[in-house]
Each structure stands twice: as C-alpha cells, then as structure tokens.
Amino acid sequence: MKIHNFGAGPCILPQEVFEKAAAAVLNLNNSGLSILEISHRSAAFDEIINNAQNLVKELLGVPEGYKVLFLQGGASLQFSMVPMNYLPQDGKAAYLDTGVWSSKGIKEATLFGEVLTIASSKDKNYSYIPKGFDLPKDVSYFHITTNNTIYGTEIFEDYDVKVPLIADMSSDIFSRKIDVSKYDLIYAGAQKNIGPAGATVVIVKESFLQNKARVVPTMLDYQVHAKNDSLFNTPPVFPIYVSMLNLEWLKEQGGIDAIEKINIKKAELLYQEIERNSLFVGNVEKDSRSRMNITFSAINEDIEAKFLAICKAKGIHGIKGHRLSGGFRASLYNALPLSSVEYLVEAMQDFEKENK
C-alpha cells in the first residue's frame, strides 16, 4: 500500500533523493567510499558543501554580502544562539509571539537581556497572525517565526522594519518567494523542506555578523562558523549531502517560483474541502492560514476517532494533530505531491457520505 506522508517532520522528501542518498551510503560517486565515511576535509565534501551553499543562494536569490552556514543543533539551538550573540545584557530585543516555537525563542532570549513581546496571538490559541503592532526603534533586533507548525499559521509578508530582522523559517523556507535582503539573519532546521534532521541552515548578513554583543563559547559564535565556512568542527556530512540532493531536485522542478504555485494549489484544494465538508472545521483565521501545515478539527470526538482510523487504513500517515492543538494536521511540504492531497480530499468526501 502506498503511504501518503503528511507528517510534520522529519518529513517527506522526494523519492529520487532517497534513492540517490541510499546509493551514496554504499558508494559515493564511484569513489569506493560511503558518504558516511568520507572526510569532511576532503575535496569530495568541499564540492558537496559548496554546491549546497550555492544552491541556497541561487534558489532564494540571496544577495551579495550574506554568508550561508550549515550548523547543528536545530532551530532550538538558534533560540539561544541568536540572543547570546546579538542581545547585549543591557539591551532589548523584540519578539512576535505566534506559537510554541516563538515562545521557546522568547524564553531563551530572556536569559541574555530584556525581551519585549510586542504582540501575541496566544489569546485565541494562536489562530491568527497579529497585525498593527508597534515596533520600538531601540531594540537590538526583531525576531519572528514565519510558519507555525503546531497551530497552522504563516507570515507571508517580508516586514520592512528599521531594526535588524531575524526569522525562524524552519517550516516554510524554500516553499515560497522571500526577499532575503529584508532580513539580517534567517535560520531553519533542515527537516521540513531542506533535508533530513541534523543540519541547520543559517543565512546571515555579513555586516550584521560584526554586531556580537558579548564573548561567547567558540561553538556558539557565528563569526567563528562564518570564518571557517561551516567547517570549524566536523559538520553533519550526511544531512548536508541529502540537503544538497533535495535542493538540486527543487531546482529541477523549476525552483521557488514553480514550487510555490504547486504549494498554493495543494493548500487551496485542502482548505476548500475543509470549508465544504460538514464533518470538519478549520482552526485558523483565513488571512493567517499556513500553506505548509493545515490544521483542522472534526465536529466531535467520535468523528475524529473514526476519521483517524480511516486514514490509518488508507495509508494516510501523520495526519493526527499535535498534542497541544489536537484535531488534525496535514503538512504539505514541497515533496508531497498534489496527488496525495487529492487522495486525502477524496477520503474526506467519502467519509462524509458514510457518516452523515
């Protein structure tokens, strides 16, 4: 039975990426060595990481004056690494609170300086993106989380602000066009649209790199990693290699412009069915709805349990909502084909007919 993987992460990747990665585990480019055993100081890995960095720049249109880093620790380490480097002890940072991950970032930042939560959607269970907030001019940076995997909201605007803008784009990077020039630092855990878990992409403006607020441990210093081109210590070789393969796949699909059109079509198809179907209801305000993580609920617990059972029987994987939000969550990352969304919609339609 074909599995339709709607899991939120680690998530689906293209089949051809799996096949190429599997072959490289046995023999990388006919070298007689596995990707798991090559030296990170070798010419072979230099080619891999340089290609991966260049693909990030090409696909996102990264302008001159930015560094692309591949680090470790996931976005969760970035929650503390950002303020450790850029929030002075006597300074202030502004955060937009739009869900669990932004809240975790706020918690870590308070260890290093004053944090201003300038707006929050917690009052309505994070079902919308706050608007019309005032951003102080005397903050060291403004931090946002562009997509919220648990509650299913997304920020599509590249905010035009007068202070350094930092964004956690872990779950929507490479899914849509962004203006990188508006950001001083972008970070993203790999395990959504980049590659497997274990690598973190950081895109940082070189001029912003110089704003280090304090002396920090070497491994947590962006300047050290930038100076050493992500090779200060042994990097996550295999995740970077698979990320490179996935970015090559994305380029072959036509890049960000092409994949965004497909992502819009997938999301619209599922949202339309949620609105039409009498057994389900959406969880998010329309103007804040994510394309990557679509959250919805059944009209009662009995219907929810029945539909989860149907999904399991039909090979629809990862549809159960996060424990904090309940209900359902369908993650429509780049590699999920439109046919899988059509399959889910058909299952919802059949389920409605059988349970009216």
> CB–CB of 88/120 below 8 Å?
no
Give the side-chain half-sphere CA count within 13 A for 80: 10
Strand partners, 297: 281
Cα 12 from Cα 279, distance rounded (Å): 27
Report which of 345, 352, 314, 310 is spatially closest to residue 330, judged by C-alpha positions: 345
Q: Which residues are catalytic?
A: 101, 168, 192
Residues in the chain: 356
Phi, psi of 139 (to 5 degrees): -95, 155
Give the side-chain half-sphere CA count within 13 A for 99: 23
Cα 46 from Cα 39, distance rounded (Å): 10
> CB–CB of 185/71 below 8 Å?
no
E strand or H helix at 281, and its extent? strand 280-282
> CB–CB of 183/165 below 8 Å?
yes
